[in-house]
Amino acid sequence: MPTVTTTPVPPHRPPTRGAGKLLLKAFLLSLPFSTVVGSYFILDPFQVLYHYDAFTTQVIPNRDYVSTQTFVNNYPQHPYQSFILGNSRTLAFLVSDWAKYTHDPLGFHYDAMAESLYGVWKKLQFLEDQGARLRHVLIICDQQLLSETRDIDAHLFRKDPRLTGELPFRFQLSFFKAYLSNFFFFHYWKLKATGAVTPGMEGMFNTRGGSFAPVTNDMLLPEVEQLIAADSVGFYAHNPGLPPRPARQPVSKAVIGPEAQQQLVAIRSILERNHTNFHFVISPLYAQERLNPADEAYLVRTFGRGYIHNFSGVNELTKYPGHYYEESHYRPLVGRKILQLIYVGDSTSIEPGRGARN
């Protein structure tokens, strides 16, 4: 019988060296991303991950979250009964000024950046659910606020999930995406390292100064007010935020549709249920844009003429550029005058047809 010769087969060895190299390369490539991700959770640049007794970051905050968390932090020790609601233009209304008329020094400034009608409704609903007594409510609004009836996706403007019932994960994810977007993380690291906001970073960080009052949550701009007091002529001469006004008074388009009407009726129900002393203020805008008469008429029909105070359009408050920081925000001296017009009824400085109860 012939002998069969077989060639020995070498033992199988797993390709550990090749796989190890691939894993090492993948690890090294992932290090930069891992560093960025880790830095987000360590630094918490938007102050939305962890608990804070006060919010002091130089990053422009989500004011809706800051205001809600400040209320939650303070309410057990400070059972607020008076609330100012609206967008960033509410900075003209200080709780200390309002208290002269409400006789309640413990009011709360519950505003949000680019606030919406939806946001005002949800905040009142949240306050009621928390058991807060709504004795006094001041709502500062304009065409922009009245036109927004849904939540906004942008991380700076979206509502706190405690108001809307949104999954907290989705809320948090929007901030993580913002950290990665446009290399924000790199600019943030640069700010942390140098302490300076350099050219190109102005839209990401607060360059105006200011602070939030720890109990009332008022937004305060003492540095800007000091600049104006020291040299008002120089301040406004070099202020690019006050462009020429339109030659003719503009009128905003009507924005109160079916969805806004439903939310306004829901707001009215909350105010009526709590027997709230409330007032709506239509902001005096630098552009002197008048609220559409159809929108004003609907507000009057829904809440009553004595509770709608329209300061939009051309009047003594909008006449002077010195009443404004820039075209979007008017100063506390204007807020004080409006409060006087509402609660005392002195309308002598407002042109006929504009102002309190009109």
| pLDDT value, residue 354 | 46
How many CA atoms lie less than 13 Å away from 226 in the CB half-sphere?
Answer: 7
CA-closest candidate to residue 112, choices 79, 151, 80, 73: 151
| pLDDT value, residue 134 | 98
Q: What is the pLDDT along the chain (358 residues), one digit of tens a residue?
A: 455 555 555 555 555 555 555 544 544 445 466 888 999 999 999 999 999 988 877 888 999 999 999 999 999 999 999 999 999 999 999 999 999 999 998 999 999 999 999 999 999 999 999 999 999 999 999 999 999 999 999 999 999 999 999 999 999 999 999 999 888 888 888 888 887 777 777 677 777 777 889 999 999 998 999 999 999 888 888 877 788 888 888 999 999 999 999 999 999 999 999 999 999 999 999 999 999 999 999 999 999 999 999 999 999 999 999 999 999 999 999 999 999 999 997 543 454 344 444 4
First vs last C-alpha separation in the chain: 120
- Dig out the tokens for 52 from the structure: 């804070």
Beta bridge partners of 324: 330
Tokens 């006929």 correspond to 352
- Dig out the tokens for 300 from the structure: 């009057």
| pLDDT value, residue 183 | 84
Coil/strand/helix, residue 137: strand
The CATH number of the structural domain formed by 65-150+209-343 is: 3.40.50.1110
Tokens 């929007």 correspond to 174
Domain boundaries, the chain: 65-150+209-343
Q: How buried is 110 (Cβ within 10 angstroms: 0-12 exposed, 13-18 middle, 19+ buried)?
A: buried
Q: pTM for the whole thing?
A: 0.86
| pLDDT value, residue 206 | 75
- Dig out the tokens for 64 from the structure: 């809706």
Tokens 């919406």 correspond to 116
